């Protein structure tokens, strides 16, 4: 099976490529990226006027299977990923049962193989049952294919346990992904602690709840020499702590989610429970700092924290609604509209944070179009007009605060291992 993607602007930061080129795919593998490739009998994919990038990688999604299939399952989550332009995702372990042993890791891999749409990598739990009490079977999970460990959704409050988790993870050279939240500070808060929480009378989560844990985990990473990745960075001081740690040579990386560089706490004034997310939407100053962190490289990756929920989970008082945003199908237009078109990131920088950087953090052989790579490719239309419509989401989670928003740009085609797994309607 031969395909040539013709005439697009290829943006492959892993090789410093940014120019009009063709991509030749044969048997699911990238054979060549060059000007004017002519191959006999090849199917032609017309990418004129479009951007051609290595397949996007979302290193932070919740696929909810096993256990919470009413919110999402591996099938619907895979379709949502493909429709969002993603060819690979890494799923968090807060399922039921929790991904805290090799059997559940294998289950995820088996289901991903059956669904056969996008590449799915499992992130194992740090602690058994996400209880924060004793370490999960990390070595077994690693051997079964887990690419990182995290108790995401919850912090590991016990610093001694976090230290040991970092030490073990270093033995397999995988990162610990920190959901940085001191639950004694966040307590039963539901939105950012600040002006809006005061006006609305909703209980606040202070920025410090995140920052003290970012600082702690940076210190533990520095002490152990182990790789630490900070999930969903949302505050100015978190960015600053990570920036300084990187300057000292600490092995820390970080990600930001689209809602944290596009929305402020002001969105909560609507009382729309789709704005309820953990960590919460922060102040305008925090949003600016997250953008600066993305710009100067302090924040390495853009990850959606795709957190689908049912209508019922959100159709309740703000205090009782579930935390989370269904984000994988709006990430590309949000990045284009808020980061690229505003000059915060160049196209190459944005693509880097969506491809090669998350691949490096997870230690997976993805995120590049170098010849010999799996033909995982995303074609993006920077000029498309997008009107977000949650009813058109492939995800079961319709919980998006961006519904009806008008944005610029959209994915155009998603190719996994040389197979077209999604293309925009009308193409």
For 94, other C-beta atoms within 10 Å of its C-beta total 21
How many helices and strands, by DSSP H and E, does the chain display?
Answer: 14, 18
Interacting residues toward ligand DOR by CB under 6 A: 62, 94, 152-153, 179, 277-278, 307, 323-324
324 binds, among Zn ion, ligand DOR, none (CB under 5 to 8 A by kind): ligand DOR
Nearest to 281 by CA among 250, 273, 65: 273
Residue nearest to ligand DOR (CB): 324
58 binds, among Zn ion, ligand DOR, none (CB under 5 to 8 A by kind): none
Nearest to 393 by CA among 305, 276, 306: 306
d(CA 28, CA 370): 13
d(CA 238, CA 255): 11
- In 278-324, DSSP assigns E strands to 301-302
> Would you count residue 305 as binding Zn ion (CB under 5 A)?
yes
Q: How far is the CB of 29 from Zn ion (least distance, A)?
A: 33
- Using the contact rule CB under 5 A, the part of the chain among 190-198, 213-221, 299-307, 335-343 near Zn ion is 299-307
Among this protein's residues, is 152 annotated catalytic? no
Q: Which is nearer to Zn ion, 286 or 305 (CB)?
A: 305
Q: How far is the CB of 152 from ligand DOR (least distance, A)?
A: 6
Q: Which is nearer to ligand DOR, 323 or 405 (CB)?
A: 323
Query: Could you tell me the two tokens for 200?
Result: 């609305």
- For residue 43, list its beta bridge partners: 3
Q: Residue 124 in contact with residue 93, Cβ under 8 Å?
A: yes
Q: One of 151, 286, 305, 374 is an active-site residue; which one?
A: 305
- Using the contact rule CB under 5 A, the part of the chain among 15-23, 44-52, 145-153, 289-297 near Zn ion is 145-153
Q: How far is the CB of 418 from Zn ion (least distance, A)?
A: 31
> Would you count residue 181 as binding Zn ion (CB under 5 A)?
no
Q: Which is nearer to ligand DOR, 95 or 378 (CB)?
A: 95
For the CA atoms of 181, 56, 400, 387, the dihedral, rounded to the nearest 10 degrees, stands at 150
Work out whether strand 419-423 and strand 406-416 pair parallel, antiparallel, or are unpaired: antiparallel
> Would you count residue 151 as binding Zn ion (CB under 5 A)?
no
Q: Which is nearer to ligand DOR, 104 or 382 (CB)?
A: 104
3-state SS class at 227: coil
> Would you count residue 152 as binding Zn ion (CB under 5 A)?
yes
Q: How far is the CB of 152 from Zn ion (least distance, A)?
A: 4
Q: Which is nearer to Zn ion, 152 or 374 (CB)?
A: 152
Q: Residue 2 in contact with residue 24, Cβ under 8 Å?
A: yes
Query: Could you tell me the two tokens for 42?
Result: 């090849």
What residue ranges bind Zn ion (CB under 5 A)?
152, 305
List residues with catalytic annotation: 305
């Amino acid at each position: 099976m031969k395909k040539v993607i013709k005439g697009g602007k290829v943006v492959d930061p892993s090789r410093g490529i940014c120019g009009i080129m063709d991509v030749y795919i044969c048997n699911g593998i990238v054979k060549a990226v060059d000007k004017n490739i002519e191959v006999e009998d090849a199917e032609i994919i017309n990418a004129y006027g479009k951007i051609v990038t290595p397949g996007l990688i979302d290193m932070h999604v919740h696929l909810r299977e096993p256990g919470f299939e009413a919110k999402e399952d591996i099938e619907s989550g895979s379709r949502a990923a493909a429709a969002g332009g993603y060819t690979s995702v890494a799923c968090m372990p807060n399922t039921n049962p929790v991904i805290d042993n090799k059997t559940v890791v294998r289950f995820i891999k088996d289901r991903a193989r059956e669904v056969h749409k996008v590449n799915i990598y499992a992130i194992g739990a740090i602690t058994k049952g996400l209880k924060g009490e004793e370490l999960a079977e990390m070595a077994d999970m690693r051997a079964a294919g887990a690419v990182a460990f995290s108790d995401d959704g919850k912090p590991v409050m016990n610093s001694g346990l976090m230290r040991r988790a970092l030490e073990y993870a270093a033995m397999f050279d995988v990162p610990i992904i920190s959901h940085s939240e001191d639950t004694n500070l966040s307590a039963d808060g539901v939105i950012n602690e600040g002006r809006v929480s005061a006006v609305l009378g909703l209980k606040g989560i202070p920025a410090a709840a995140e920052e003290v844990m970012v600082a702690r985990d940076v210190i533990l990473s520095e002490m152990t020499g182990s790789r630490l990745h900070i999930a969903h960075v949302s505050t100015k001081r978190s960015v600053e702590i990570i920036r300084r740690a990187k300057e000292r040579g600490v092995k820390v990386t970080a990600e930001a989610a689209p809602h944290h560089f596009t929305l402020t706490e002001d969105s909560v004034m609507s009382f729309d429970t789709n704005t309820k997310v953990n960590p919460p939407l922060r102040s305008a100053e925090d949003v600016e700092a997250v953008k600066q962190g993305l710009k100067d490289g302090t924040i390495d990756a853009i990850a959606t924290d795709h957190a689908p929920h049912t209508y019922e989970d959100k159709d309740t008082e703000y205090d009782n609604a579930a935390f989370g945003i269904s984000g994988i199908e709006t990430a590309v237009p949000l990045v284009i509209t808020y980061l690229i078109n505003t000059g915060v990131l160049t196209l190459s920088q944005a693509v880097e944070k969506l491809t090669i950087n998350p691949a490096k953090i997870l230690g997976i052989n993805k995120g590049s179009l170098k010849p010999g790579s799996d033909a995982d490719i995303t074609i993006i239309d920077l000029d498309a007009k997008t009107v977000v419509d949650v009813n058109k989401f492939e995800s079961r989670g319709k919980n998006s605060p961006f519904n009806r928003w008008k944005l610029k740009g959209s994915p155009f085609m998603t190719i996994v291992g040389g197979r077209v797994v999604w293309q925009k309607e009308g193409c």
